[in-house]
Structure 1
Amino acid sequence: MTPQRNTGAGAEAELPEYAGQYHLDSCLGSGGMGVVHLARSTSGLRLAVKVVHAEFARDPEFRGRFRQEVAAARRVSGAFTAPVVDADPEAERPWMATLFIPGPTLSEHVKRNGPMPTAQLRRLMAGLAEALRDIHRVGVVHRDLKPSNVLLAEDGPKVIDFGISRPKDSELRTETGKLIGTPPFMAPEQFRRPREVGPAADIFALGSVMVHAATGRGPFDSDSPYVVAYQVVHDEPDLTGVPGSLAPLVLRCLAKEPEDRPTPDELMRELRSVAASYDTQAFIPAQRGRNDAPEREPSGVEPVPAPRRRFDRRAALATGALALALGGVLTGLLWPGDDGAPTVKKSGTPAVSAGFAAWRAKPAGKSSGMPQCVHAAGKLLCLRSGVAFALDPANGSLLWRRAVAEERTSYAPALSGGLLLLPTNGSRRVVALDPASGAPRWQRDLPAHTGIRFAGSMLLVTGTDGSVTGVAGASGDTKWHRRVSGRGTPFLASYDGDPLAYAAATSADGTYTLVTAVDPGTGTARWEARLKGSLQPIGSQNGSLFLLAVDPASGDATGVVRYTPASKAVRRAALAVPLTAPQTDVRGDVVHLLAAGGSLDAVDLGTGRRLWHVETSVSRGSAPVASARHVYFTAPDGRLLAFDARDGSLVGQTPPRLGTRAGEVASALPAPLLVDDRVYAASPDGTVFALNGRDPSAW
């Protein structure tokens, strides 16, 4: 089969030219599980052909799911769905061809045109009720009805994508710990009793879809899926903006108990009584430009709202507690606890190199708390509540352990001047240990309201008066003390492999930032640059400094900047939408940004454009870490996630490991450590683990 190249965002590097007898003309959309192509039959009939990603085609479990999707789609083919024309779930790359239906998805339409008027909402609701009636009549429950799965055709709405649908008599059960569906459009029973989900769940989803069509948002709204899940189960829906003639009916659809919701037939009767002049004419979407072709989104892919709503900080504070409350569904199975002794368990993940196998260790017994680790001196050197320890990176065995007076610092330990420096006592003290044995070497108390930064062999301590003190890591002695530049407490940054530290001070009006490159050993300035805008250093690569541009008023990130001091060249790239509190990583010219709300973006400063964007549904994740193949980060529930560096698709994740502090939210999560092809990470239950970075799909 001759591959065709497709360099579009989100597309696979190589795509098949044919699916069965159908020539694949162009890519309509790409998601986590497959790619949807526009194709033509030999008679010229236009088709939408879904082709499974190669990596999932090798997974027997996924093949079983795809076979069921094909079977469900065939059972419901009718006036309100996209009819199945052909399929081959047993092919090397399984595929399914449905009739191509021109028209935007509901999510596209609302994004471009805003909320629908009342008459269109009535027709939409009636059309979806009829579609669900026909779907349920053949014994199928869709389970993922959402705006991106509703096509607005000229003759009425069409329900598409039966990727997670289930026949009511299916023997295929939801696996323990897996969340099946899209949280803002899921019914309470999908979180509480996922094995008992019936047709009424689709009616609840219809109510949520109607709120979205009427207002542009959902009835339960947050950037955190955990918060949305809690709201769906416990809170009343927000129907602000829903027309008064439809609000009571929508509210009935959103009843917490399945038996309290109307059936599709009852919905249609109610709609006829709501408006005697009910209009059954077709829904005709607004006209689109010639180049404005619809994009089909495979299951699980939602368009990004524009402009993106600000992250709900209250949701961030509640995320940990809600994850515990919903742990039976959202968190899966945790590893068993131990008897207080350090444990090391081997995994079956393929070895990265000779002598290495994936492992996990819990060096601090039954107590929990997320360890902060650094890979240095041939060891994993870690700090966790009340204890410091060293692990062998090859197998996770405990090398030494020592009690320390640590009170949940957000700073990771560092190797400086040949010693392990630990911020302890709420970062009011620094303790130096011998990395070989854990024996103490020196300690130093710090003034209140100071910041610290490890840079090479030095500890840099910033004061509120704008001064910086250079402390030798080897001895704890003060080597220099001076005011660097700017106003107030300077923002200091340093990066592995870069001999300099960077102080950034933004002007009072936010119009410019003074960046100073400082020699950590002496405190002298190597160079200084006055750059436009409010900027924060985020990384350095190949002699260039990378910075994040932020809005002085909101604090949201608006762009990324590359400054090359040798040539004084400045390159800027604006973000498509502002991002709230993004964590960042720089590799080459590519900046990866994980926003507080869960969106992950890759921006290439070589070309000045965004490479890809994906919604991860992870609130307040760690800083991402990128290799040539993958982008990794840690979630607050302890999962390690891996995304394809080419297109942003999710390629692997570990189980959640919340531990006994599931009701707490860490102020900062440690980023994974990438060493060659190994990935080291930690979780809230106190576990440290190592995995094969080459094959995240095996996690």
Structure 2
Amino acid sequence: MAPQRSTGTDAEAELPEYAGHYRLESRLGSGGMGVVHLARSTSGLKLAVKVVHAEFARDPEFRGRFRQEVAAARRVSGAFTAPVVDADPEAERPWMATLFIPGPTLSDQVKRNGPMEPARLRRLMAGLAEALRDIHRVGVVHRDLKPSNVLLAEDGPKVIDFGISRPKDSELRTETGKLIGTPPFMAPEQFRRPREVGPAADIFALGSVLVHAATGRGPFDSDSPYVVAYQVVHDEPDLTGVPESLAPLVLRCLAKEPEERPTPDELMRELRSVAASYDTQAFIPAQRTSQEEREPEAGAAQPERRPVKRRGRRLAAVGASVLCLAVLGAVASVQLLGGRDAAREESPRTVPAAFDPWTAEPAAKGGGVPRCSYGAEKLFCAEPGLVFAMSPTDGTVLWRHSVSAPATSAPVVSAGLVHPGTGGGSRLTALDPGSGREVWNRRLPAGTTVRYAGGTALLTGADGTVSGVDAATGRTEWHRSFPGRGAPAFQSFPGDRAAYATWTSGDGSGTRVAAVDPRTGRTRWDVRLGGTLRLFGAGDGALFFLSVDSVYGAAEEVVRYVPATKETRRVRLPVAVDDAQATVRGQRVHLLGAGGSLVAVDMDAGRQVWRLETSVSRGSAPVTDGTRVYFSSADGRLLAADAGKGKLVGQTRARLGGRPAGVVGAPPAPVMAGRRLYATAPDGTVFAVDGREPSHW
């Protein structure tokens, strides 16, 4: 690909072909400090890559500020920003790659479709308040929140473009020519005392952004940035056209003094009282394309213009103060790392239909994210050093039991007893599901891994020897090894009484799969399949695998193997899915990638049905009831997508809490039991919702 010619007024005549090892496919846009390109990772993940203009790449001060932004980018949740994938602030032309999030900016949305209706405004305000809460929590102030820096993604607004000043966007500059912000969305203190600017400045900007979304203009309006600066410091905001239900809250955000503005948490509480219908359901921008197509909403306030009130003219003084301002800012999102939850052995029983959603915090603060499973008509959860049972109807804690093992997996119900995940612990324990009383325990050799299948605990030692332990009594029933293959990786699935052992060849060219009878240890069948395969599901007499790239680990194919007929079917994905987790129901497979790509594959039809970019960085394994696909995000949200159409249909609020960990690398998958859906969050809560009504979450 030849270098892309610049068609604008940028300093450089040609744009680069690569940023690092990312090939730049097309130009998405240009700002004062750089050009944003569409690119793809090696596995095909869409990225937005910002490459700094050559003139600023030569500025040591700018490079230092860019390094600060990249460092801060790893401190904020990706739930409300475009997650950073890679960056090189030391390159000849510094660059940063973030996940590409489809969706218009708020600025473009308002230009095309006009002001938003009240319900949409409430959700926008709530989403931005949540975003600022998590940005401020890690000690960062955005300082340039404005409509063009808000993306309207399907799962809510995303705040972008942190910390990069844009000298070509405005005539308002410092002596060195560096932009201090965007005047209509700057707080008074950014003009009066810039060194004291704190999180409250972003709240002021949020109020200005809401006025723009509600009316198509800002609360302070003039063609001159100096006039706007004066109005921000001295005049009252013009809220004509802002819905009456939101105007008092917006006015509080626009208070002249920082201490008089609400915090993000206060905003969210106020919004819940503004309207009982407030929720954090999926934010899906209206697809209207012209003013003629836009029909007035019943009861919606119609914007009008009136003269801006002014108290005087002291523009010379304002202009002088403006020249003293400087730029600061930084941030994007966090890269999340982690493993997988253990498979549950027993399938959940149907539970009564009538129930009310609930939220509970069953353990002490700081314990971590609970990992839960359902069985014996109870919800069983584990945190480090603790296992507990909860009522599935109201979240009441029924019993607690201390254990020595860390909680790397959810408890398993096997042979009528509750077995905490060992997580590398030194003992194997079985508990009575009704009382939490210990029934038996046994010591484990170092390095032992445990899986449950068919009422048996499969213990694999460091030397590859496998022991079958009766899950009801703790007695060892058999020992065996697999000569020439090393230690097997066992998996089992609800409703399937077999255990499946897999081995991958050293060069990744093939994977050996054996079905083992968990009661006797005997091999029922044994087959070699091509490629590096990861087993993720079983059903309808078939096993389902992901065929992954042996170097990068991206899923390239979905593979179905039917042992009875020895038939193998492979469905190639049009674009590989990074670090995918998958689930299967019938012949429909759903995959969720590390960057938020949710994919549906029909194995009978032999094709990918749909692909949805959710922008959820490092989500949980998906689960499905056939109608919807559910998954959790690292910030504690539970999301739902229509399994047939591939559209987000609902989500709960984020639940980060005040724990030091903030977000988690591998959020536990939600648990289904009848119509109920149970999920857990970083704030330590366990919560239940009606899986059939995600739009009401």
TM-score, normalisation: structure 2: 0.56
The structure-2 alpha-carbon separation of the partners of 1:461 and 1:246, relative to structure 1 and needing over 3 Å to count, comes to farther
Contact 1:416 1:474 in 2 (8 A): yes
435, 442, 445: which one aligns with 1:444: 442
Contact 2:404 2:425 in 1 (8 A): no
Contact 1:580 1:596 in 2 (8 A): yes
The structure-2 alpha-carbon separation of the partners of 1:457 and 1:148, relative to structure 1 and needing over 3 Å to count, comes to closer
Say yes or no: does 1:402 pair with 2:401.
Answer: yes
The structure-2 alpha-carbon separation of the partners of 1:247 and 1:315, relative to structure 1 and needing over 3 Å to count, comes to farther
Say yes or no: does 1:257 pair with 2:277.
Answer: no
405, 408, 413: which one aligns with 2:411: 413
Aligned residue for 2:128?
A: 179
Contact 2:627 2:644 in 1 (8 A): yes
Aligned-pair CA distance for 1:428 = 3.6
The structure-2 alpha-carbon separation of the partners of 1:164 and 1:450, relative to structure 1 and needing over 3 Å to count, comes to farther
The structure-2 alpha-carbon separation of the partners of 1:113 and 1:582, relative to structure 1 and needing over 3 Å to count, comes to closer
Q: Secondary structure at the match of 1:661?
A: coil
What letter is aligned with 2:336? Answer: A
The range that moved more, 362-371 or 415-424, is 362-371
Aligned residue for 2:380?
A: 381
Distance 2:517 2:596 in 1: 36
Aligned residue for 1:561?
A: 559
Q: Secondary structure at the match of 2:128?
A: coil
Contact 1:501 1:519 in 2 (8 A): yes
Aligned residue for 2:252?
A: none
Distance 1:593 1:473 in 2: 32
Aligned residue for 1:461?
A: 459
Aligned residue for 1:390?
A: 389
Aligned residue for 1:482?
A: 480
Q: Secondary structure at the match of 1:233?
A: coil
Q: Secondary structure at the match of 1:178?
A: helix
The structure-2 alpha-carbon separation of the partners of 1:576 and 1:636, relative to structure 1 and needing over 3 Å to count, comes to same
Distance 1:410 1:460 in 2: 17
Distance 1:147 1:617 in 2: 9
The structure-2 alpha-carbon separation of the partners of 1:568 and 1:580, relative to structure 1 and needing over 3 Å to count, comes to same
The structure-2 alpha-carbon separation of the partners of 1:265 and 1:570, relative to structure 1 and needing over 3 Å to count, comes to farther
Distance 2:120 2:429 in 1: 58
What letter is aligned with 1:381? Answer: F
What letter is aligned with 1:315? Answer: Q
Aligned residue for 1:492?
A: 490
Aligned-pair CA distance for 1:672 = 1.1
Q: Deviations over 1:194-251 (max 9, x none)?
A: 9x955xx53x68xx9xxxxxxxxxxxxxxx999x95x8434x58x9xxxxx99999x9
Distance 2:405 2:633 in 1: 23
Say yes or no: does 1:692 pair with 2:621.
Answer: no
Distance 1:123 1:422 in 2: 52
Q: Secondary structure at the match of 1:375?
A: strand
Say yes or no: does 1:548 pair with 2:546.
Answer: yes
Q: How does 1:167-566 map to 2 (within 5 A)?
A: 177-179=126-128, 201-202=147-148, 232-234=161-163, 236=164, 257-259=181-183, 299=285, 315-316=335-336, 355-407=354-406, 409-424=407-422, 426-484=424-482, 487-566=485-564
TM-score, normalisation: structure 1: 0.56
Contact 1:637 1:683 in 2 (8 A): yes
Q: Deviations over 1:245-274 (max 9, x none)?
A: 99999x99995622499999999xxxxxxx
CA RMSD, Structure 1 to Structure 2 (Å): 4.9
Distance 1:495 1:353 in 2: 24
Q: Deviations over 1:474-523 (max 9, x none)?
A: 12222222123663332211000001111111111111111101111111
The structure-2 alpha-carbon separation of the partners of 1:606 and 1:246, relative to structure 1 and needing over 3 Å to count, comes to farther
Distance 1:576 1:469 in 2: 42
571, 574, 579: which one aligns with 2:572: 574
Say yes or no: does 1:629 pair with 2:627.
Answer: yes
What letter is aligned with 1:521? Answer: R
Contact 2:29 2:36 in 1 (8 A): no
Question: How many correspondences in the alignment?
Answer: 457
Distance 2:119 2:546 in 1: 51
Contact 2:680 2:687 in 1 (8 A): yes
What letter is aligned with 2:539? Answer: Q
Distance 1:610 1:623 in 2: 19
What letter is aligned with 1:512? Answer: G
Q: Secondary structure at the match of 1:454?
A: strand
Distance 1:367 1:638 in 2: 15
The structure-2 alpha-carbon separation of the partners of 1:354 and 1:577, relative to structure 1 and needing over 3 Å to count, comes to closer
Contact 1:485 1:505 in 2 (8 A): no
Distance 1:644 1:398 in 2: 33
Over the matched positions of the two proteins, sequence identity in percent amounts to 41
Q: How does 1:648-663 map to 2 (within 5 A)?
A: 648-663=646-661
Contact 1:464 1:488 in 2 (8 A): no
What letter is aligned with 2:630? Answer: Y
Aligned-pair CA distance for 1:677 = 1.1
Say yes or no: does 1:114 pair with 2:38.
Answer: no
What letter is aligned with 2:676? Answer: R
The structure-2 alpha-carbon separation of the partners of 1:569 and 1:377, relative to structure 1 and needing over 3 Å to count, comes to same
Which 5+ residue runs of structure 1 have no aligned equivalent? Answer: 1-109, 126-143, 151-157, 209-223, 240-244, 268-296, 302-311, 319-351
What letter is aligned with 1:179? Answer: L
Which 5+ residue runs of structure 2 have no aligned equivalent? Answer: 1-21, 38-81, 83-99, 187-220, 226-282, 288-331, 339-350
Distance 1:686 1:146 in 2: 29
Q: Secondary structure at the match of 1:315?
A: coil
Contact 1:384 1:406 in 2 (8 A): no
Aligned residue for 1:604?
A: 602
Q: Secondary structure at the match of 2:538?
A: strand
Aligned-pair CA distance for 1:417 = 2.0
Distance 2:397 2:131 in 1: 41
Aligned-pair CA distance for 1:427 = 3.5
What letter is aligned with 1:233? Answer: F
Aligned-pair CA distance for 1:425 = 6.6
